[in-house]
Homo-oligomer: A and B are copies of this chain.
Amino acid sequence: MTTAHPFGGRRLPVAVLGATGTVGQLFIRLLADHPWFRVTTVAASERSAGRPFAEAATWHEGTIPADVAPLVVKRCDPAEVTERVVFSALDSAAALAVEPEFARAGAVVLSNPNCSTINIVMAIAPLHRAFGLRKLFAVTMQAISGAGYPGVASLDILGNVIPFIGDEEPKVETEPQKLLGDFDGERVRMAPFVTSAQTNRVAVRHGHTACLSMAFERHPHEDEALAVLRDWPGGIAHLGLPTAPPTPLVVHEAENRPQPIKDVDRDAGMSVHVGRVRPDPLFDLRLVCMGHNVMRGAAGASVLNAELMAVRGLLAGA
C-alpha cells in the first residue's frame, strides 16, 4: 500500500545543510529519486560556498545525481537558503548554532538523533509499551561510519576494539527515556527507566550492535516478549510511507544473528534487527539488537520523519 501523494504530484523543494559531508551525501542519494521531495539547495561551510557542488564535494559512492551536481553551494544561512523544509547533516557544534536560526526563520528542520539510541529504542519500544521498562543495561559495538569521514584512523581500529566513544554514553543513557516519553503538548515527560550504557567502537563499516539486559515492571516471560516483538507493527506501518521498511523490527531465530554483515542492508537499512531474546539471570530479559547507523540511525530516519510530517499535513505551509 502506498499513500496518496501529499503534494498533489509536485515534489516539494528541500534543502540539505552540511551537504558535502557523508551524511549530507546520503541525504542527496536518498532524495534523488524520492517521489515527494526534491533537493533544490545544497548548503555547506564557507570553504565550499560559491562553488558548484560537484566540485566542492568529494563524492563517495556512485555518481552525483545529475540535478544536484551543478547546484552552487550556499552558506548555511536562512538568508540564502529559502526552502521551508531543511534536512540537516551538520555536526553537533554547527547544528547548535545554525539549526535554531532556520527554525526561527520558519523552516521545518529535520535533524538526526543519536544513531545508537535510535536502534536501541526501536528494539525496546514494543517491550516498554507492553511491560514497562525500568532498568536497561546496554553495551554497544558501533561501526566506524558512526564517526563520519575521515573519522576513525585505520591504525586505531584495524584488528582492535576501542572501549570508548566521546560523548556517546551520556546520549545513550538519556535519549531513550526522552524518545519513549510522553509529550503533553508542551514538554516531554521522560519514560521512567534508568539506563547504564557502555559504548565501544569495532572494525565494522555499517551497523551498530547492542547487547541489552532489561528489567520490567511486569516481568514478562521470554515467550511473551517474543510475541510482542514479532507482532509489533510499528506505529506508522499503515501509512505506506515511501521510506518505511515492510517490517520495522525483524526478529531473528538463529542463535548467531543479527550480524552487521548479513543483516544491515536488508530493506535499504531501515529495519532494526533483534535476536537472542532470552531470560536474564539478573534482570528479566536480554537480547541483541542491530541497525544501520547511517540509514535507520540517521539520514533514513530523517527522511521518514519528513514523510510522516507530510502525510499529517505538517509541511503543508512549507
Contacts and interface: CB of A to CB of B under 8 A. Distances in A.
A162 B203 contact: no
Interface string A39-70: 00000000000000000000011100000000
A193 to B, nearest CB: 10
A116 interface: no
B260 A173 contact: no
A191 interface: no
Interface in A254-312: 255-262, 266, 275-276, 280-283, 286, 288, 290
A282 B213 CA distance: 12
Which secondary structure characterizes the binding site on chain A? Answer: mixed
Contacts of A288: 163, 198
Given A149-B155, A200-B211, A282 B137 contact: yes
Contacts of A257: 163
Contact of A262 (B61, B151, B259): B61
A302 to B, nearest CB: 21
Interface in A194-208: 194-196, 198, 200, 202-205, 207
A156 interface: yes
A159 interface: yes
A144 interface: yes
Given A194-B282, A198-B286, A158 B158 contact: yes
